[in-house]
Structure 1
Amino acid sequence: MAALAYQTSLDFDAVVHEPVAREMPLRSTVGMAERRFTAWRGRSGRRYVASVFSITDDHALGFSDAVLLAVTAERQIIAARESGPFGIEAALTRWRRSVAMAGAAEIHIHLLAEDGLSRRAALLDLMPEV
């Protein structure tokens, strides 16, 4: 019995790193016809809530200080970037065009990172391995 408790304690303390980020849709939005929000689990196990936009929706490029995820119809992140403090429209438009050509169907916007360091950490945790 003591060995079982010891093993359980080790399992609880272990940090599991996923090979890729994966989508974990919000349970509260399952019944909705339109998906407006979702969540992603980073390789570290951390959860990131995001707003969902069609790749053609211009509102997706209007956020400053946000993490932008280019997502395929198969629910995979193919690119990620920070919008920057001013949301530089020309650069974001070029990025959107290139990820659309690469197969992105949606842009997911994570707005809850409070500062540049938090956004950089989210990017590193979510962006696909090269």
Structure 2
Amino acid sequence: MLAPGLTLVYRPDLGLVIARWQREVTPAELQSGYLAIRAAADEVHCSQWLLDLRRREDVIEPVVNAWFSREFAPSLRGRYAAPVRLAFLVSPLRAQQPVTAMVSAAEADCQRATFMDEAAAYAWLAS
């Protein structure tokens, strides 16, 4: 499943699915993107995801946030051998926004953290 404006790469050497949004996307495209990421992760049984939001202006989308917390995040609980970990990579400007509101989810569903530095995100995912 390919989502518009999104590139997906599995890095077996790092044990990561890397998703990079290349442009602004609509809420429907954003939901489609999350579903595509999950499908890619399912194919390789990968629970570590790097989500690069640096090219997106609006990293907080209320409609998608509600869908994420009600439907998507609960679908991640127990899906893989290890808990799902989401590392959100954002620009310094966006880091000042309440990015965690973008992905409200119970800690039991997935672990998440926000980073401005890609190396720090990789380190957190590897820990």
TM-score, normalising length: structure 1: 0.24
User: Of the two structures, which has the highest relative contact order with CA contacts closer than 8 Å and spacing of 6 or more?
Assistant: 1
TM-score, normalising length: structure 2: 0.25
Greater Rg over alpha carbons, structure: 1
Question: More helix per residue: 1 or 2?
Answer: 2
